[in-house]
Amino acid sequence: MKTIRTTSAMADWSRRLHREGVTIGFVPTMGALHEGHRALIRAARLACDAVVVSIFVNPTQFGPTEDLAKYPRQLRLDRALCLKEGVDVIFAPTAEAMYPAGFQTIVAVPNLARLWEGEARPHHFQGVATVVTKLLSLVQPDIAWFGQKDFQQAAVVRQLAQDLNLPGKLVVHPTVRESDGLALSSRNVYLSVHERKTAPVLYRALQAGAAAIRGGERRGLHIQRLMARTVTAERSVTPEYLAVCDPSTLQPLQTVQRHAILLGAIRLGAVRLLDNVPVTIRPQS
């Protein structure tokens, strides 16, 4: 397994492999790899000849008061996981390599990025869209994998790849969960013992919303209130948003028709947790 630190070496490596007819699978990450990342890497390993994992804590997607400085960094452990999973290249550039002096381009996907995470974290998706565009241009993957836990991020990335005619296919991999339903996230390590016990309430609330829809409820507001009541039953939880949305536009739905995505974010102490549950209503036969 090779570690590449510079953008030119990354682009050269990918060009050489493509010339040799090798297919490249790509898993972009910010490190602190967990079982969710492992699932993406395994999917890439199965589908492609060579696998690249990027590990880059992207400063431009963090707000000034967010956790950039204390975001978990554990390159040695991440390398061990990648080695075990048969990764060919870890791309771990420095911030200076990705954003050299004079860098000024910004990629924005304003409509999909406006609500939800975009409201809570202004500029976040601009940072994500810009770095993902750079990473995809450097790695030139045949297939890139993103986790469904960050549903809005996946929607933003899908849109930019389509709008900018980026080659390669994007695959969104289902969320990997702990046995009590908590979605895996690198930030779960920040949870105290009590917060960790409480955290699955977000998934329970989203599931309660999905169950209501499957039981015949179609009113967006009603489903949203039901989810909010479930999370606020836990006194230590501050809900940020619980929403019933159209999965392609991420706009709130007044009435659920065929497909909906239930999105949620809560705060538990200093930790923000996100999750989502897709719902499809099967037509009556």
Could you write out the three-class secondary structure of 142-207? CEEEEECCCHHHHHHHHHHHHHCCCCCEEEEECCCECCCCCECCHHHHHCCHHHHHHCCHHHHHHH
For residue 146, give every residue at least 6 positions away whose Cβ sits within 8 Å of its Cβ, in sequence order, or none: 28, 40, 153, 154, 157, 170, 171, 172, 173
60 binding ligand PAF? (CB under 6 A) = no
128 binding ligand PAF? (CB under 6 A) = yes
Nearest to 109 by CA among 89, 87, 132: 132
The span of 11-19, 24-32, 41-49, 103-111 binding ligand PAF (CB under 6 A) equals 24-32
The span of 27-35, 97-105, 177-185, 194-202 binding ligand PAF (CB under 6 A) equals 27-35
In one letter, which amino acid is 6? T
Nearer to ligand PAF, 117 or 142 (CB): 117
Q: Which one of 37, 123, 124, 173 is the catalytic residue?
A: 37
130 binding ligand PAF? (CB under 6 A) = no
From 25, 28, 72, 118, residue interacting with ligand PAF (rule: CB under 6 A): 28
Identify whether 37 is a catalytic site residue.
yes
132 binding ligand PAF? (CB under 6 A) = yes
144 binding ligand PAF? (CB under 6 A) = no
Residues 114 and 112: their CA atoms lie apart, in Å, by 6
Nearest to 208 by CA among 222, 227, 221, 225: 227
The span of 23-31, 79-87, 106-114, 255-263 binding ligand PAF (CB under 6 A) equals 23-31
* Residues classed as catalytic: 37
- Interface residues toward ligand PAF, by CB under 6 A: 28-30, 58, 61, 128, 131-132, 150, 153
